[in-house]
Structure 1
Amino acid sequence: LKNLNYSVPEEQGAGTVIGNIGRDARLQPGLPPAERGGGGRSKSGSYRVLENSAPHLLDVDADSGLLYTKQRIDRESLCRHNAKCQLSLEVFANDKEICMIKVEIQDINDNAPSFSSDQIEMDISENAAPGTRFPLTSAHDPDAGENGLRTYLLTRDDHGLFGLDVKSRGDGTKFPELVIQKALDREQQNHHTLVLTALDGGEPPRSATVQINVKVIDSNDNSPVFEAPSYLVELPENAPLGTVVIDLNATDADEGPNGEVLYSFSSYVPDRVRELFSIDPKTGLIRVKGNLDYEENGMLEIDVQARDLGPNPIPAHCKVTVKLIDRNDNAPSIGFVSVRQGALSEAAPPGTVIALVRVTDRDSGKNGQLQCRVLGGGGTGGGGGLGGPGGSVPFKLEENYDNFYTVVTDRPLDRETQDEYNVTIVARDGGSPPLNSTKSFAIKILDHHHHHH
C-alpha cells in the first residue's frame, strides 16, 4: 500500500498534470523497475481507479499513470470555508499495488472581500459618550487562510470623532466596531461620512469598501436664546387694544421639539401686567390687551421666558420695559375755598383775599402745565381781556406758589354799580391741543353802612 500526497493550486485549466503515479509509486522500494513499460499489459491499462472522491475533477490516465485535472477547480465552491481542501483517490497500479492518493487544492487569492451593501446607515445620538461602540457590518471573503479577510480600516472624517476597533472571534474571524472618540455635536455637524475598508492577506491584498453614513440624532442640549437680555419700547398711553408692543424672538439650535420654543410671561409677572398685555406662546408677539394709562403707571416691566418642548428644558429670560408717552388726556381740575362765604363789603381795600384756588392736572410735562385767569379780570398767566356783561370784573388772580392762587380785589368796589359778581376761573394746560376747565362762584357786595350822604 502506497500513500502519495500531491497539491495543485485552484483555478488551473483542464488537463493540468498534478503528478506521475507510476514514477512516484516506483520510488518506493520493493517495486521491480522492469515491471513498468513493456509487456502487453499496458494495452488493458496498468492503472485502474478504484475510488475517486471527485471523478468530475480528477482522473488518472490508465496507460501513463498521470494524475490530471479534468476541469478548472474552484476551491471555494468545493470546500467552502475549510482551511484544508483535499480530494482522495485509490488507484490499483500494475495489478499489484494499491495507491492511496491525496490531492491538496491550494487556495489562491482569487476572491476579494465583499460587503453585502455599499452603504451603511447609522443613527447615533449626539449625547453618545466617548468610548461607545457600534458593531459594523462584516465583509465576507471566501478565500482561506492568508488569502481570507485580514483586517479593516476606517477612513474617517477629519475631526477624529470616530475610531475603529477590529475584534476577533474564537474561530479567528474578524469583525469591526465603530468607536466614538470625541463627543458629537449635531448643531456643529449633523452628518458624517466614513469609509470602511476590508482587506485580505493576499500578496498584493484585495479589498472592498462600504460607505458609512452617520446621522447625528439631536439631544436637547441647547436652550433658547433671546436676541438681547432686555428691550425698551415706547408706546403712547391709551394705545388701541391689539397694538403690537414687540415681536420677541428666541432661537434654539436643536431640532424638532427640542428646538421648538414656547413663550410665556415669567411666573412672577404681576397680575396688572397680565391684564394689560398678552403674549402669543408660539410667536412671542406681545400686544396691548388693556387700557394703558400713563397716570396710573408710566413705566411697565414685562418679564418673558422662553423654553423648548424637549425633555428637561432650561428656560431663557428677557425683560421688556414699556415706557408710556403721556397724552393730554386729563383736563385741569379746579378747587376753591371761599374765604368770604360769598359776601364782601364794598369798603374792602384792593388786595383783599376773597378765595383760595387750587388747580391740578394729572398729566405730566407740558400736558400738565397750567395757566389760570379770572374771566374778565387781570391776573397771572392769562391777563384780563374778557369782559362780562358788566365790563371787566374787579378781581385778579395772584399765584402764591405752584398751582395755588388767591383771588383778590384789584380796585375799590361800588355796590351801586354792581352788587353781585359771578367769578369764573379758567385753567388751561399746555398740551396740543390744550384742555380747559372753568369753575365759577358768586360773590355779593354788601353795602357799607357808614355811607356819607
Structure 2
Amino acid sequence: MLASGSGDQRARRLLLSLLLLAWWETGSCQVHYSVPEEAKHGTFVGRIAQDLGLELAELVPRLFRVASKSRGDLLEVNLQNGILFVNSRIDREELCGRSAECSLHLEVVVERPLQVFHVVVEVKDINDNPPVFPATRKNLFISESRALDSHFSLEGASDADTGVNALLTYRLSSNEYFSLEVPTNEDQVKPLQLVLKKPLDREVASELLLVLKATDGGNPELTGTVEVQITVLDVNDNAPVFDKAVYRVKLLENTRNGTLVIRLNASDLDEGSNSHILYSFATDVSPDTKASFCIDSASGEIKVNGKIDFEETKLWKLRIEAVDKGSPPMFGHCTILIEVLDINDNHPELQVTSLSLSVPEDAPLGTVVALISANDPDADDNGQVICSLSPHVPFKLVSTFKNYYSLVLDSALDRESVSDYAVVVTARDGGSPPLSATASVSVEVADVNDNAPTFAQPEYTVFVKENNPPGCHIFTVSARDVDAQENALVSYSLVERRVGERALSSYVSVHAESGKVFALQPLDHEELELLQFQVSARDAGVPPLGSNVTLQVFVLDQNDNAPALLPPGAGGGGGAVSQLVSRSVGAGHVVAKVRAVDADSGYNAWLSYELQAAAGGARSPFRVGLYTGEISTTRVLEEADEPRQRLLVVVKDHGEPVLAATATVLLSLVDNGQASKISSRLSKEATDPKLALVDVNVYLIIATCAVSSLLVLTLLLYTTLRCSAPPTESACACSSAVGSWSYSQEKRQRCALGRGRPRRTSWPSALVFPLVRVLEIVEDNRRFAGT
C-alpha cells in the first residue's frame, strides 16, 4: 500500500512538471517589478522585453502591446528599448486605499505567434500623508464635580499611508489636570482618553486649552495636531418648573400669522447660567404642530405660524419643554391644549350626477334629469345648506333627503326654441354672513327630425374653363341642417336628367359626404356653353328630409380652335384661291378676299389677317386688310411685275397662345389687251345685270333657290317642334356674324339669359349658315364685277 501511494505521488509530480513546462512554452509566465508611488514620469521600472525573453527588433512586427486590468495609462513600454517606465502619477492611496498590498497587473500580448505574459508591478508606499485629526479643535464640557480618574474619550488621528508610515504616536501638552492614556498596539480599537488627575475648580480655571500631537513612523516624520478646549461647568441641581402643568387656550380658525397664543413662564432656583431657561417644543411634537405654531426660546411666547383650520384640526395638543443652561442641563415640561373655534369660512360644495346625456323634447313632466348633493364642512348653522335654481328654466328641485335633491322636468321642452339648458344650482349656507356656491348642469334636448337641410342660396353660378382634366373639382355645395346627430347628417346626390342625348351623370358627379362637385370629363365650350342641373341634400333622419339647389355651370372658352378657312368661292375664300387681275387697276383696288371663322369665342375668335413676306425679300404690290381679309393693290401694277403672284395669307386669332391658319392666293396678271376684253365684258355686265348674273353666278342662283326652298320647309318644321318643346328650355340663336368677336359676345349674352341647355347645331342654324354664306359670295362677286 505504501509503495502504491509513493508511485501515485511520483506520477502526480511528473504530470505537474509536464503541465508547467507546457505552460512556460506557450509564453504564459509572470514577471514581478516594484516602483515607489509618486514616481516622476519616465521613472525606470524594468527591462520587460529582456525579462520576457523577447528581441527588441521583434516588438513592433509581432504587435507587442500592454493591457492593464485597472488603469492602463500609469505604465508604458518604450518599444525602441523594451523598458517599462512610469507614464503618469501613481497614488498608492488612490489606487489601493488602506490595503497592505498594492500592485498593478499588466497583461503583455505578443502576436505572430500569440504569446501572453503576466506582469505584476508592486507599488511601494512612501510617507507622503501626515496624520490627520477629524477636526482641528475639540470642545469638552466637564463639570467641576467630576471625580478624579475620570476618563474622557478623544478621537485619534488617521494616516492614509501603510506600514510603518502609518504607525502613530501621541503626546499631550504639559498641564496639571489631565494625562493622556494611549491604547497599546494590541488594543487599537480603543480610543485615546484624557484622565482627570486633579480636581477641577471653575473659580480657579474656567477653561483649559490642551494640544494633542500625533507623529507617524515615516522618514522624515510627519505630524498633525488638534486643540482640546476644556470648559469647566458649574453644578446644576434644580430643574425649571412651569406655573401650570396644563394650559387651555381657545383660538379662532384662520387667525393671522404672528398672533400671540400664550406666554409661558417657568422658574429655576439655580443661579447664573443654571437658571437661564430656554423654551422649545418637545421632541415628540408632530411636524404639523411645528408648521402651525412657533415658540420664542427666550420669552416662551407661542405664536401662530401657519394655517389654523377648524375643518382639519379641532384641538391642538402641544408639549412644551423648558431646559436650563446647567451642565448637565435639566428639563421641565407642560402641556398646552388649543381649542379651535369654527367660523363660516367654507363655501358649500355641490356635486352633480347626471342620469342621462340628453332629454328628449317629448319627455314627460317629472322626468329625473340629475341628482344633486350639497355639503358644507363648517359646523352648526355654518354647515346648513339650502339649494335653489336659476329662474326661467323648465326644471325644479325636489328634496329627497337632507342636503340631497333631484332635478326634474317641470314643463315641456322644445328643441327648436332652446337646444340645451345651462341650469345653475345655487347652494347657500346659514352662516353670518352666508356663503354660497354654484354649479352648472348642462341639459341637452334630444332632437326629432323636423328640419330639412337648407342651402345658403337657391342657385349658384359656377365658371369652369373648358378642357378641364377629368375628375377635377369645380364647386362645393353645402347644406345646413339645424337638427342634431343623425338628423343633421347630410348626404348629397345629383338630380338626374338628360343633357341632350346623354345623362347628366356622364358630365358631373357629387361626393355624397363633402358635397364636392366634380367634372367627370373635359368640357368643351364649343359643344356645351351652359350646364344647368340640381343637387339634392338629404339628412339621415327617419323619415329623411331634403331640398335641392340649382347649379349653373358656364364653360369658359379657351383658345383651343385654330381659325378655319372657308371653302374657296368667288371673290374670296380659303385654301388655294385663283384670281385674274388686270395690270391697269389702280392702287387700293380689291382683287380678292380670304374668309375664315374660329369656333372659339371672344378674343379667341377675333381674327386678323397678315400677308407673309415673299421669299426673296421683294416687296409685293399687294396687301391684305388686317381685319377684313380683303387683298388689294398697294400701287399701280407694272410690266416688271411677275405675271403670276402667289400670296400666303396668315390668319391669326387673339388667344393665348395664338393659333393660326394659312391661305394661298394665286393671282394672274392680265396685260392691257386682255384687260380691254375683260373691261368690255364687264361693261356689258354692268349695263345688263341679269346677263352678268347668268354668266357669272348661275350656279349661285341655283344653289340659292334650292337652299331657300329647303329653308322654308325647315322653318315650318322647326316652328312646330319649338311650340311643342318645354317652355323652360331655349336654344341660343346664331347670327350672320359667325366668327367675329362681336358675334361671340352677343351669342354668350343670349345663352346666359336663357334657361340654358347644351348647345348643338339645330336644323335652322345648319341651313341658315350656308344661305348666309352664299349671299356673301354673291355680294363679293358683285363687288368684284363692279371693279
Query: TM class, shorter-chain normalised?
Result: 0.3 to 0.5
TM-score (norm 1): 0.43
Q: Which has the higher strand share?
A: 1
TM-score, normalised via structure 2 length? 0.26
By percentage of residues, which structure has more helix? 2
